[in-house]
Structures are given as structure tokens and as C-alpha cells.
Structure 1
Amino acid sequence: MRSLILSLPRRYYHLIAALLLVLLLPAACASSDLDSQAPTAGGPATLSGTYLSGRHAQAERDMSSATRFFAKALDMDPDAPGLLRRTFTILISEGRMKQAAKMTSQVLQKNPDAPIASLMAIVDDLKMDRLKKAGQKISTLGDGGLNGIMAPLLGAWTALGSGQTSAQAIELLRPLDKEGSRPLFNQHVGLINDLAGDPVAAETAFLANTDKNGGPSLRLVQLLGNLYERQGEKAKAETLYGDHLSHNPISPIAGPALKRLAAGRVPSPLINSANEGVAEALFGVASSLVQQNAAETALVFGRMALYLKPDFPVMQILLGSILQRQNRLADANAIYQQINPASPYGATGRLRTADNLDDLKQTEQAIALLRTIAAENPTQADPLIRLGDLLRRHDRFEEAVVVYDQAVERIGQLTARHWSLLYSRGIVLERSGNWQRAEADLLKALEFKPDQPFVLNYLGYSWVDQGINLDRGKDMIRKAVNLRPRDGYIVDSLGWAHYRLGDYVESVKEMERATGLKPEDPVINDHLGDAYWRVGRKIEARFQWRRVLTLNPKDKDVRDRAVDKLKNGLPEVP
């Protein structure tokens, strides 16, 4: 069976290599019987019922309701330390920073070592320009867990903001100058030197990370390139951006930066104050926490970063992605919509907004947004590719063909990295009845990616289904199965190839394996029923066709065929 699933790798921001495995937040889970313990509508609100309702809302990612329930429970019992901590943490994770700041001292009275509250107190002091108080609090932080990372960063930037020299600030970073945290150390040495007016020392520190890691991260390219541009080092900037673009063709920063260079425009510094340096530190740690699957803690760090630096596009992208992974799509879109449209990440935020709108069943709004983005960026193919993918997912194949054609026209010369576009266009062309063009696209995609299992399967299945190139098609599918032996759709294709070639015994063997891998798929169950019928296992065949109907296939033809076969069986093989 042809799979319409196109799995492409996603890129993430890797800013620090330190292992940050300490989780600071309470688990956002609730007991399985919360529904039965929640207060009933119209009944009296109790402390336990209100609290459990908050836990349930938190588990369901309804953070607005969770915050409301916890705050109400806290009003009932202001001295409950666990409830106080949970309410405080959720306020931060929801970006209600002023409310959280007011609660900080109350949390610390209950637990002077509370890590999130301690960090929030420092961040709030910095926000309110209480640098001396911030410095005093930083000096009391322990060196365990994330404090071992944050204390040197906070201390260094607060010292710089308080008028100390860059050398004094960098000395406070020294605890990070060790294996595991050295990339973070180098980056902030570079940032401190840049802000202090020493571009040579800044470049040296930034390049140390490039040498160490074999290549600069996306954020390092942005920071170092920004430094080069401001220092008039046009050739270095062009080389940096060009190399990055050659390895990352869809990079959000390289294209705009090269255009800016060509136009002779000089960007503003990315870090303009000590507070923005702290925000950068919080962003770096949040990025690492995401890589360690500590999304709840990363969310807290991200909110603090935006509290200090509200216009922080790369942090907003990261925060939105965390919310997306938590399936809080409307909340993610609210973050994306706050991104400065002039930022290199503005387009990324809008594209993600469109994806989320579609997942929220607001498909027409998503289509309209993607068309607007494509019209506003007449040389870019990505918005059109996203639109084509969306239309394909909704079986609007003829519309998708038109959009993919426009994307190809914008690209011009296709290269190996465009195999997925050819594959996607091949699918919608085949579904639109234009097999000649579809076959050409699929063959070209295989020319670029000879071992791509999805393309091998789709083309091989199409040939077998049409009764052409049967042996070659079966060989392609077998190769795809070897590459993805646990993919039920591809295994089904191999079974169907055997079926079309009249090898029904072997077909049953593969079809049974396919249904074991994808028991919920109606087409695969239908195919197994056909194979059973051909080997004389007619009772089992009828069972499979009945199962097709219980699976409620979206395709009416699949349902109608199953109904007909239950009534009449299969015709004799000529």
C-alpha cells in the first residue's frame, strides 16, 4: 500500500553541550480518577476538589483553567507550601510574570532554597534595575543542579551591568570553562567582549566554539555574522553565511543576512545590555533542556528570558515549539504572532502558525495565510511547498498540483535536496490521474535518492497496481521492505505485488505480517481478505471484509468494495 506519510528530519538549535538533567518542576500529571473527584457544577467548592480540578486541568494542558483553580485553592489555604509552589510555577510557565514576581517572596519564606523562586527573584531584580540586590542573591546560590550553570552566567552579566570590567565579568564565568560547559563559556565570553567593545576578543571566543564543534550552530552563525557585519568585515560575513546556507538551504537567517550585506545595511547588535545577556543565557539553557526532554523547565526559563527581553524572536520560536509539542497550538500561535515581522524568524513563525491552524481544524484560514505569505515572498518556494503539503493531506490533489508546480517554477534548477518535493508532487499527480507526469517525478526523485523507501514503495506499488513493470515494481517494494521492515504500508505493498503476480500463498504471508503491523488500516485488511479468498480460506476472507466495515474507511470505494465482496465474493481468476 502506498503511504502518504513523508517523514523528514527536523532541525533543532544546539547551543550548549552540557548535560542538564535536573528537573525543577513538579510532574504535570494527575491521578486517573480526577474526573470523579472534581467539584460538580453548582456544588460547594472544597479545597481538595478545587486542587484536583487544577491538577486535572494541568494534565490536560488547559493551563488557563489550571491557574484559576490553583489560585482559588491557594486562597482557601495560603499556607500550603506544595500548592504555593505549584501555583507559582504555573504562573511563570504561563508568562504571568508580574503575578509570579509578587508571589516570589512568599515562596522563598516557605523554602529559602526553592530554585525557581530564587532564580525568579534575581530575574525580577534585574528587570527592575535592582542590580545590587540581584548580585547579593546570586552570591547565595548553590552550585548544584542548574545553579551550577546559571550562577556564573548571572554573576558575570550582573557584574558587567554594574560597571565592572569585561575581564572581571569573564572571571566570574570561569566555573564554566570545563568539559561539557565550555561552549557556553566561549559564547558568553564572546558576547561580553562584544558588548564591552572588544570585537577581536569576541571573534576569538566565538571561533573557539566553531573549532570545538566542527562547525557553528545556527545561533553562533547569527551572533558571529552580526559581529562581522557591524565591524565592516564583509568578506568574512559572506563566507560565514554562504557556508551555512550551503549546508542548511532553508536556514531562516543566511538568506536575509546576505541580502542585507548586498544592500550595504548594517544590523544592530543582537545583545545591547547586560539584561539581554542574561536573557541569552536563559535561552541557551532552555534550548539544552528541550534537548534533554525537560520541556516544563525549559518553558519556565523561556518565559524568564522573554520577561527580560520581550522582543527576542529566536526565544519566541523555541517557546512556540515547546507549546506545539504539548499540543497547545493556540497558545503557540499567540507566541508566534508576537514575533517581529522584520525578524528573520518572522516567516518561520507565520508558517508554523499556518500548520497549527490546520491542526486546529481552521484549514481555510491556514490556506489563506500560506497564500498571503507566498504572495509577499515571490521568490521563496517554501510557503508554496507547505501549502501543497496541506492540500495533499486534505485530498485536494488537483489544487496541490498547481501549487507544487508554482514552487518548482520558483526553485528553477532542482537538486538532490528537492527529492521530497518531487515525491509529493508525484503523489498528487498520480491521484489526479496524470500518471505520465507522476511517473516522471517519482523516477527523478529516485535518481536523487535511490534508496528512499517511500519513493521506492510508491512507484513500485503504482506499477504493480496498474499491472505494468511487475517484476521491477516488486523488486523496488522488496528493497523498500528491507529498508523499513516494520512499516505496515510497505509490507502490504509487497503482499499486493505477490497478489497481482498470482502468487497468493506468498501474498497471504506478507499481508498477515502487514495487518499485524497496521491492524487499524482498512485497505490492508481488505487486501488480506482478497488473498485469503484466493487460497480458499473464504470464512477468514469474509471476516476481514467485515472488519473493513468496522474500521469506517474514509474512502467510499473501499467500503463499497467490501460490501460487494461480502455479498458476492471475488470473481474467478481468468
Structure 2
Amino acid sequence: MVTFLGRLPAVAVVIAALSGCVPQSGTRQDASDRDIAVLSAEPGLGAYLAGRFAQSHGDTRSAAEFLSIAARRDPENIDLQQRAFALLVAEGRMDEAAAIAERLLIIDNDSALPSMLMGARDFRDGRYAAAEKRFSVLPKKGINGFLGPLLTAWAKAGQGDINGAVALLAPSPETASFAPIYDFHAGLIEELGGRLDQAETRFKAALAAQTSVRTVETVGAFYQRHDRMEAARALYLRYRLEHNDRALFDGDRQFALGAAAPAVVNTPTEGLAEAMFDTASLLRQGAAHDLALVFSRMALALRPNFPMAHILVADTLGHQRRLEEANDIYRAIPKSSQVSGFARLRLAVNLDELGRSDDAVSELSALAAERPDSHDPLMALGDIFRRHKRYAEAADAYDRALARVDTKDPRNWTLLYARGIALERSKQWNRAERDFLEALRLKPDQPDVLNYLGYTWVDQGLNVEQGRKLIERAVELRPNDGAIVDSLGWALYRMGEFQAAVRHLERAAELKAEDPTINEHLGDALWQVGRYDEARYQWSRAMSLDPEPDQIDGLKARISTGQLPAQASK
């Protein structure tokens, strides 16, 4: 998931307050146009049931279609109207949603989401006072207690009341957990009102909480526009030290714009869109994907040219397995945008998941050529090659990625680890071992590296005692990781401690039951302690779990003979 905001720790409060508005998604199963056409002609119950089924499977597009049909057939059913409304907003069908919102507000004039949507439409049309009236009557608890003052502040800013707007965002015990967002928006409002010193004070307070992408981009550009170039440079350096990538934000690229660096918010309407986006980002962080889509769509209704909100929508659609739709959004983001690189990375990952690996490789290769100072495209390329077991090509991609970074920087242990795996799988153990050891030097006690190196040593009969110690440490750090517990069991097996091996391998099989290697290992250990029928069962189970090609012959031999091959029993 992409983390865009990071200004607020109290995500759980937000999600709890919104629970029940839009159920969370699961695995998506699209309804066909034929299904929709058939159910349109059926009584409302059929459309309702189809809509609820689609919604429970994460298909908000079909759910919106079905439930809007049901809502038209049963206009007095408030629960149905509310569901249809939220889903239509999530799908960006704002005119249809607005028609339902108006009906809902007749029944309950402070209904939260309908009030926000209609207030946003007032805002878009310049009716700031009308929007303020809608926002000011939002309930004062939960998410609305946070959003009410924020949205109302932007409505006051639209009317030129900067003092009134900022006063709503003043620190208080009730809103202390929301202070970073309030400071950020107060800074935007102060700058819009020409009060630069006050804007900088609020921006600094927001930065003190966390250097999120949006805050750094906003404050850095503020510094650049107001001849504070060294402050901007220092901020971008701080961001780079804390975030070892340039996919979402490239400080060097923005710094090159000099005093022409654009403001993130230039109008009150853009400010309101920013508030909707911030809310969506928080919800996305907390895995409230459908609600994140609702607020992202409202942000885009206010500000159609909003690349960060487009990214968030596409990311959420990707989570719903709507990869083609997500890719259409990623492709539409202009290359001039700061988030273009991230969009193209996500596009490539989705292409690979759609079975279009060659297209994914082409996209990443082109991006790597266009951005010679970024290692992200090459790392993603290596990951794709590794996923498809093209290990030599993966190692080459990681080689090129590492040539673009400081290999002594502790943040780059992940690249060394990834290359180590590719090298080990492509039978280049000496290089792989060096990478694992260097990764551990940069990131001591990293469980994955401890496990991989320790397991490989033990499996090859090299440094067996040292390998066992590495794995034991990894198990201490991550006791419920089935793969790591398996490594310890296998180390004990290789050292002839079969009873102890069985205990750990049984635990590993409980933790990661669908892993063929773990089941094979358990079968071998069971055979060694005389539990032959159980051993054969585990080997048969491993065979049913899509084992690696080099495991198949050995498993077949074990199953057919009921015993270990001679070389495996030693």
C-alpha cells in the first residue's frame, strides 16, 4: 500500500468511527454486463442480493450498479439508499450519488457523507457559505469530529476569513492526535492568505511530526518560492535520508525548478480536495480500502488534475484486483508529475500480475534508462525476474541497481539480500555469500538474512554450527515464522538431532501448512525416527503442493519406496 500521508498516528480512531459505512473488500468477482441487464429487469430483491454479494467480494463497480438499481426500486429504504450512495461515490458516479444524497438529507439533514458530498459541490461552484453551513453541522465525534473543523476551515478560507479558518485548526486536547494534519492545513491557509511567517510556523510544526511525501513537497516548494533555497535543500536531504527512494518524490527534481516550484494548493477548492485526499490516505493506511476510495473520488471531483489522488484511487483499485482499471489511471498520469515514476512502477507490477511479463520488463527498462539516478526501476525489474525464476537476469538487474546506490548505506541491505538470493539460485554461491554477509553487516539481526544464510550453510554442509546459531537467532526474533522455524528444524536434521528436528518441523508445518519444502522436510525427519506411515503422508502432501522441479523426482522416489533415497538418509 502506498503511504502518502503519515501525519496522524490515530488511524484506528478514524476507521472505528467510519465502521459500517462501507464494508471492506475481499476477493473481487466481477459481474458481467449480462448479469446487470438481467437483474435490472428483476424485482429489487434480486438486484439487492447481487449487490451485497458483489460488495462482499470487493467488486464495488458491480455492487454500485446492482444496489443503485435496487435503490431506485425501493426509494423508502434508507439503509439501501445509504449503501447505494456510498458505492456510487466510490465509483466516481457523483451526479447519481448527489441525487440520492439530496433525498437522504431530507430525512437526516446532518447525515455525514451526503453532507460532505453536497458541501463539496457547493464548494466547487463557489458557494462557500452554503458549504460552511453543511460542514458545520457534521456530528462532533469520531472522524466527523476531525473532519468537521477541517472542512469548515477551508469554507471560511474561501470566504476570506483566514483568522476564523486558522482558529478552527488551533491545538486543543480534543484534537491533539490530529495536530499534524491541522498544522499542515493551517499552513496552507496562512500561505493562501499571504501570511508567510505564520505559514512557515505551522509548516515547521507539521514537519516536526513526520517528513511525509506531501508535507515535504509542500514545504520545500514554499521555501523555494520564497528564496529559502538552503532550507529546501536541507529538507530534501532529510527526506532522502529517511526514505531511500525517489519514486513518489524526487527532491532534486523539485529543487531544479528553483523559485518556480509550484504551490501544492492555490485555491480554497484545491485545499478542500487536499483535506479529502488526506482523509483517504489515512483510511488506506488503516486498510479501510472502500472508504479510502470514497474520499479519493471526492478529492478528484473537486480537483480532477490531482495526480496523488489518482495514484491513491489506482492503488485501491489494484487492491480490489481491478488491475486493468488501475493501469488506465497510471498511464494517464503525465510524465511531468512527481509521482510519474511511482505510477510506472505500479503499472509494471500490475502488468506482470496480469501475465504480461514482457511488457512489464519493457516498461521498467525504459524507466531505468530515463532515470539513470534512480535504482527503483532496476530493483523492481530484478524482483520480477526473480519471481519468474529467471535468477541470472535478476542478479544482473540487481547489479545495475546497486551501481546506482551507496552500497555502504545501511538502507541498501535489501538490495544486497535480494541479489544474494538471485546469485544463490543461479549457482553463484561465493558472490551470494558475500552479499548476505554484507547485508548482515549493514543490518545486524535481520531475521530474513540470518535465516537465508544460516539455512544455506546448513543445507550445503558448510559452517553448520555457525549456520545453526544464525537460524536460532532468527527464530528468537520471529518465532511464528514457519519458514524460519523450518530452517532450524532442518539444521537439527542435518546435524543428526532427529527427535528435536521433528518437534521444530511439526511446528513449522502448523505455521505454514501449504509449503511443500516444509512438508518434505517433516517427512524426512519422521522417517528418521521410525514414523514411516506419517513420513509417507507428508511426502505425498508435499507432492500435492506444487513443489519445485528439482524436488519432484526425490518425492516420487520417497512415496513409491516408502523410504529415503540413500543420499538423503545420511
The aligned length equals: 557
- 8 Å contact 2:554–2:565 — kept in the other structure? no
- 8 Å contact 1:88–1:103 — kept in the other structure? yes
Change (3 A) 1:10 1:483: farther
The 5 A counterparts of 1:163-562 are 164-174=160-170, 178-211=175-208, 213=209, 215-252=210-247, 256-262=250-256, 264=258, 266-411=260-405, 413-551=407-545, 553-562=546-555
Deviation at 1:253, TM superposition (A): 6.0
Deviation at 1:400, TM superposition (A): 0.8
Q: Which amino acid aligns with 1:170?
A: V
- 8 Å contact 2:110–2:134 — kept in the other structure? no
Alpha-carbon distance in 1 for matches of 2:406, 2:184: 38
> Secondary structure of 1:78's partner?
coil
Q: Which amino acid aligns with 2:213?
A: L
Alpha-carbon distance in 1 for matches of 2:246, 2:24: 37
Q: Which residue of 2 aligns with 1:5?
A: none
Q: Which residue of 1 aligns with 2:83?
A: 86
> Secondary structure of 1:179's partner?
helix
Change (3 A) 1:45 1:29: farther
The counterpart of 2:112, out of the listed 110, 115, 123, is: 115
> Secondary structure of 1:330's partner?
helix
Alpha-carbon distance in 1 for matches of 2:307, 2:267: 17
Alpha-carbon distance in 2 for matches of 1:217, 1:529: 49
The 5 A counterparts of 1:61-100 are 61-100=58-97
Moved more, 559-568 or 417-426: 559-568
Q: Which residue of 2 aligns with 1:52?
A: 49
Q: Which amino acid aligns with 1:195?
A: L
Change (3 A) 1:377 1:45: same
- 8 Å contact 2:154–2:165 — kept in the other structure? yes
Q: Which amino acid aligns with 1:118?
A: S
Alpha-carbon distance in 2 for matches of 1:491, 1:147: 46
Q: Which amino acid aligns with 2:43?
A: T
The counterpart of 1:566, out of the listed 559, 562, 567, is: 559
Deviation at 1:252, TM superposition (A): 4.4
Alpha-carbon distance in 2 for matches of 1:490, 1:382: 28
Q: Which residue of 2 aligns with 1:15?
A: 7
Q: Which amino acid aligns with 2:221?
A: N
Change (3 A) 1:232 1:428: same
Moved more, 280-289 or 234-243: 280-289
Moved more, 556-565 or 302-311: 556-565
> Secondary structure of 2:403's partner?
helix
Deviation at 1:451, TM superposition (A): 1.0
- C-alpha distance after superposition, 1:211-267 (max 9, x if no partner): 4x3x4433222221111100011111111111221222215466x333443564521
Change (3 A) 1:29 1:375: closer
- 8 Å contact 2:2–2:315 — kept in the other structure? no
Alpha-carbon distance in 1 for matches of 2:340, 2:164: 37
- 8 Å contact 1:125–1:134 — kept in the other structure? yes
Deviation at 1:176, TM superposition (A): 6.3
Deviation at 1:554, TM superposition (A): 3.6
Moved more, 330-339 or 490-499: 330-339
Alpha-carbon distance in 1 for matches of 2:443, 2:228: 39
Identify the structure with bigger relative contact order (alpha carbons < 8 Å, sequence gap 6+).
1
Change (3 A) 1:10 1:51: closer
- C-alpha distance after superposition, 1:476-502 (max 9, x if no partner): 222222222222222222222222223
Deviation at 1:386, TM superposition (A): 0.7
Change (3 A) 1:219 1:300: same
Q: Which amino acid aligns with 1:375?
A: A
Long gaps (5+) in structure 1: 1-8
Deviation at 1:182, TM superposition (A): 2.9
- C-alpha distance after superposition, 1:380-414 (max 9, x if no partner): 11100011011111111121112111112222544
> Secondary structure of 2:6's partner?
coil
Alpha-carbon distance in 1 for matches of 2:25, 2:145: 31
Alpha-carbon distance in 1 for matches of 2:347, 2:514: 31
% same residue: 41
TM-score by length of 2: 0.89
> Secondary structure of 1:185's partner?
helix
Q: Which amino acid aligns with 2:228?
A: E
- 8 Å contact 2:7–2:206 — kept in the other structure? no
- C-alpha distance after superposition, 1:112-150 (max 9, x if no partner): 232111111110111122334324434544434433333
Q: Which residue of 2 aligns with 1:6?
A: none
- 8 Å contact 2:348–2:364 — kept in the other structure? yes
Alpha-carbon distance in 1 for matches of 2:444, 2:9: 35
Alpha-carbon distance in 2 for matches of 1:139, 1:101: 19
Change (3 A) 1:176 1:319: farther
Deviation at 1:517, TM superposition (A): 2.1
Alpha-carbon distance in 2 for matches of 1:16, 1:383: 30
- 8 Å contact 2:520–2:538 — kept in the other structure? yes
Q: Which amino acid aligns with 2:557?
A: D
Structure 1 residue 28 corresponds to structure 2 residue 23: yes
